[in-house]
Structure 1
Amino acid sequence: MEVTYILFCVVCLLMIENGQGNTFWEYKRLYRHLEENFDKTIRPVINQSKSIIVGIDFNLQAIQGLDEKEQVLQSSIALTCNWKYETLVWNESEFSEIKTMYISPVDAWIPDLIAGNSIDSLYVLTENRADMLQIKVESNGDAQWYTGGNIRTSCNVGITKYPFDVQHCTIVISKTTPDTEVHIDALRDQVIRVLYKENGEWALEKSIIEKRVIFGYTTFLDITLTLKRHSLFYVLNIIVPVFLLSFMIVLCFKIPVASGERISYSISLLLTFVVLLNLVSDSMPRVPKHISYLQIYISYQLTVAVVITSVSILLIRATHIHDDSLSSSLVSVYSQCYNLSKRRKLVTSRPVEAIEVNEDIRKTESPKHSNTDTKSKTVTRPGSPERRKFFVHHIDNLLFFVFVSLFVISTLLFMVLVLL
């Protein structure tokens, strides 16, 4: 009988030593022992003149979206808060070596954290205690608590380099009490991204945590997220079509005036350009304080398209009229400049070349007599349609090179501005 009692005692001691004594009744006894020290309104420090230090780790789980029009960042975050719960300390040996207790935030004290730039509510992190995770308390008083969720914070969006833009959004974490009572501090200077899920539109380039103190007694933790837009979709659907249309509108100067298709070609491209601009304007963020280089570039190309269409109409009119209108006057001015340049070449060129050029000018300015055909005789007057078509052809070539040069320069300038 004594041997059996001794064996029973040995087994009980081994069970207690191996943690098998952590039964429901032991936890209940410990909870009752600590229950009288629960108070959600008084800071859990013995000396109330001291400040309680709360260390915070910031965990970023996802960037759900950035609304450029509303300038709102929606993200999913989790905060790990650590502090010393001096009023909840026990001796493990008196409670079957229980090392950890979990306490509801409804009954215990938690730091009153706020999201300083939240759109919905400042108290989004602590406003519903019943739905929060429990506080983990160690036997030495070390407490750990998790909070967070989906929050919407303000973000100043800059669209100058859209769609190659980089946004810097800040999530501000603070508290309602001064530092003399509760002092918050970041446990590290980087955001934890172990559980982070990549966003389809934005890439997280960098995430840092900075400590900021204002008025000398209030601490803020600024979590700055650097987001870079994935621009391939916008390049294929906006920028490339704008480049192609801008170049095609210049090609109208290569369409012969006699074909009669130049006006319809220019008008069709101009209308296509307008439709594309409407689609682009709907997709671009409406930020009144900023204007993107893409908006300026598209507006410039639309203006060039209007100018090209207007010039094409004047040139076509110049080849089909016989009065002194604006278009015929422009052709006359160009013809005079053309003839003047020919005469200047006579002075600087060799005698043989001068004779050849002089003959060309005479053929252009004086009536032409055909020696080979005696039956027909064609006379080209200074204001004849043939002469106008000749100079319109030269004007077309000149304008083509001018507008192609403008297209290349403006496109290179746009790419340099948005990519640097």
Structure 2
Amino acid sequence: MLLTLLILCFIELSSCTDVVINRLHKKIFDNYNPDARPVINPSAAVDVAVGFHIESIKKLESSSETLVASIWVGLTWKDEFLVWNETDYDDIRRIVIPAKRVWIPDLYFSNSVSMQSAIVTPGDYSKLSLYSNGTVVSYFGRTTETRCRMNLGKFPFDTQICSISLAHWTSTVSEVKLSKKEMPSLVEVSGTWNLAHLLAKEEFIDFVGQQQLILQISLSRYPLFYVLTIILPICLLAVLNPVVFLVPAESGEKISLSVSILLAYSVILSALSELLPEVSDNISILGVYVCIMLCLKVVSVLASVGALSLYHRSGSVPGEGVYHWLGKNGRWGIKNTKVCQVDVNADKEIISWQDVSRAFDRLMFCIMSAAALLISIVCASFIFQ
């Protein structure tokens, strides 16, 4: 019996509460126009406090220069037409209403790459909280895709600063004034990037008399993956480049090794081009380094062909000139084990084309080693400066 009475009382109280809420809705929304700014004084501006809550950074694409993020935008303002006395409505302090029933600032993401950039769309079924003093509190969750101009000069040891901009469609700063408010951001970032810093700031657009809020997101790249897949192979190829000149000409593998390294550089350059944008204000130092090493490898292939051409020449080396000087001064301790009759009265040392070829190989080994080392040091100094 007691349980039945309690249930009946609860139903009665719920019914009474619903009646009061319906009466409250009728009172505040009769003759209310959601298209009109919620101020009694037409010359006054509506103060809207805006807070950003970054939930996750899904991805930052270097090739397309776009940032995809899940974000909550918190808006708070005061609607002077939606106020009531709590004592007249059973001390109801807050009600939850559909967003489409009240005035909402016409905000949009001004640097979005898509057309669907408005905070509130016509088919939006979001709810918001309305308090007795007219304060409106709303939260809108969106997945944004915004432009992010990237500086890839120090790729993959780079830090990018991207922004999410929020502005008005039509309202000027004299009609709607934006101010930033703090909101906690528990950011989940994709595996490639690390969140370094968040900063919200206000900006005034002079030529249109509008205001926008900008959330700056500083992201630093995790370089380990690119070090293992790009930089390490490049360094190993840079070591192999001069080693080609240590391969004996009689082995027949000198040209094949040179061409194989050249093709490896081409593959790495192709893979690197897929990671970088086609048009950018800054050139990747790593990309420049690969191009220089590719050109150096082309020179190496041509030099290898020249060395083989010298090796297979027949006849004697002229007694004077560059070839004789190179063969004579480039032997560096090489002992000629060929047994032959030598005229002891001869004034000139006999130099073969094989001696010239070996000396040329050793000279090119030193030149290519020094060039690769110098280029690597210069490029590394630009990246890590």
Same fold (TM over 0.5): yes
Asked whether the 8 Å contact 2:317–2:352 carries over to 1, the reply is no
Which is worse superposed, 306-315 or 396-405? 396-405
For 1:214, the equivalent position in structure 2 comes to 205
Asked whether the 8 Å contact 2:246–2:362 carries over to 1, the reply is yes
2:295 is the counterpart of 1:295? no
For 1:373, the equivalent position in structure 2 comes to none
TM-fit CA distance, 1:100: 0.3
TM-fit CA distance, 1:293: 0.8
TM-fit CA distance, 1:56: 0.6
For 2:98, the equivalent position in structure 1 comes to 104
- The amino acid of 2:71's aligned partner reads I
CA offset digits 1:277-330 (Å, max 9, x no partner): 33333343322443211111111111111111211221222122136999x975
TM-fit CA distance, 1:113: 0.8
Asked whether the 8 Å contact 2:244–2:258 carries over to 1, the reply is yes
CA offset digits 1:238-292 (Å, max 9, x no partner): 1111111121121112222333332222222223332333333334332244321
d(CA) in 2 for partners of 1:369 and 1:256? 17
2:376 is the counterpart of 1:411? yes
d(CA) in 2 for partners of 1:284 and 1:171? 22
Aligned pair partner of 2:46 in 24, 47, 52: 52
Give matches, 1:148-167, under 5 Å: 148-167=141-160
Which is worse superposed, 32-41 or 290-299? 32-41
Asked whether the 8 Å contact 1:253–1:396 carries over to 2, the reply is yes
d(CA) in 2 for partners of 1:186 and 1:265? 62
Give matches, 1:16-415, under 5 Å: 23-36=17-30, 38-121=32-115, 123-128=117-122, 130-175=123-168, 176-188=170-182, 192-194=184-186, 196-215=187-206, 217-322=209-314, 330-335=322-327, 338=329, 377-378=341-342, 387-415=352-380
Q: Secondary structure at the match of 1:140?
A: coil
Q: Are the structure 2 counterparts of residues 330 and 36 from structure 1 closer, same or farther at C-alpha, using a change threshold of 3 Å?
A: farther
- The amino acid of 1:377's aligned partner reads Q
TM-score between the two structures when normalised by the length of structure 1: 0.78
d(CA) in 1 for partners of 2:58 and 2:311? 61
- The amino acid of 2:371's aligned partner reads L
Asked whether the 8 Å contact 1:135–1:144 carries over to 2, the reply is yes
d(CA) in 2 for partners of 1:325 and 1:21? 114
May I ask how many residue pairs the two structures share in their alignment? 369
d(CA) in 1 for partners of 2:46 and 2:229? 55
d(CA) in 2 for partners of 1:324 and 1:59? 82
Q: Which structure has the greater CA radius of gyration?
A: 1
d(CA) in 2 for partners of 1:419 and 1:199? 24
Asked whether the 8 Å contact 1:116–1:122 carries over to 2, the reply is no
d(CA) in 1 for partners of 2:275 and 2:117? 34
- The amino acid of 1:253's aligned partner reads F
Gaps of 5+ in 1: 1-7, 343-359, 371-375
Q: Are the structure 2 counterparts of residues 39 and 296 from structure 1 closer, same or farther at C-alpha, using a change threshold of 3 Å?
A: same
d(CA) in 2 for partners of 1:291 and 1:70? 15
- The amino acid of 1:125's aligned partner reads I
d(CA) in 1 for partners of 2:193 and 2:279? 18
- The amino acid of 1:92's aligned partner reads E
TM-fit CA distance, 1:20: 8.1
d(CA) in 1 for partners of 2:252 and 2:349? 21
TM-fit CA distance, 1:124: 2.0
- The amino acid of 1:136's aligned partner reads S
Gaps of 5+ in 2: none
d(CA) in 1 for partners of 2:107 and 2:46? 14
Q: Secondary structure at the match of 2:188?
A: coil
Q: Are the structure 2 counterparts of residues 329 and 166 from structure 1 closer, same or farther at C-alpha, using a change threshold of 3 Å?
A: farther
TM-fit CA distance, 1:408: 1.7
d(CA) in 2 for partners of 1:266 and 1:143? 71
Asked whether the 8 Å contact 1:69–1:287 carries over to 2, the reply is no
d(CA) in 2 for partners of 1:332 and 1:94? 113
Q: Secondary structure at the match of 2:129?
A: strand
Percent pairwise identity: 27
d(CA) in 2 for partners of 1:140 and 1:83? 11
